[in-house]
Copies of this chain bind each other. A is one copy, B any other.
């Protein structure tokens, strides 16, 4: 029950759900996600840590950056089904589409430039 509630609480904030959807195409580092959503880095970090603690995303550190990604198929069933439900339900939503557009723009930009722009 506790694990399950960690997932539902993580999914109860729209910005966290948007972040899950943004990761659909592959891993992103914190500053890329910060750029997409326009929040302070500390805010984004907090959201990602909540998603991470619920098991909905995994993290990896490389060079200066921390990358987050969706879990692989070996994740617990409850997590896999939650993610399937989220993606299936929102893949075509307006918010997802808008975020995907932002993401496309950001992926064209060099990481260092993004980070400098944010002074992060």
Interface size on A, residues (CB 8 A): 22
Closest approach, in angstroms, between the C-beta of A99 and any C-beta of chain B? 11
Closest approach, in angstroms, between the C-beta of A31 and any C-beta of chain B? 25
A88 interface residue per 8 A CB criterion: yes
In the assembly, what is the distance between CA of A81 and CA of B85, in Å?
7
From A4-12, A41-49, A64-72, A107-115, give the one contacting chain B.
Answer: A4-12
Q: Which residue of the partner chain B has the closest CB to A88?
A: B81
Q: Which residue of the partner chain B has the closest CB to A18?
A: B1
How many copies of this chain? 2
> Are the C-beta atoms of B12 and A94 separated by less than 8 Å?
no
Closest approach, in angstroms, between the C-beta of A60 and any C-beta of chain B? 27
- CB 8 Å contact bits of A55-99 with B (1 = contact, 0 = none): 000000000000000000000011001100110111001111000
Q: Which residue of the partner chain B has the closest CB to A79?
A: B89
Contacts A1-B90, A1-B95, A85-B85 given; indicate if A11 touches B8 (C-beta within 8 A). Answer: yes
A30 interface residue per 8 A CB criterion: no
In the assembly, what is the distance between CA of A45 and CA of B93, in Å?
31
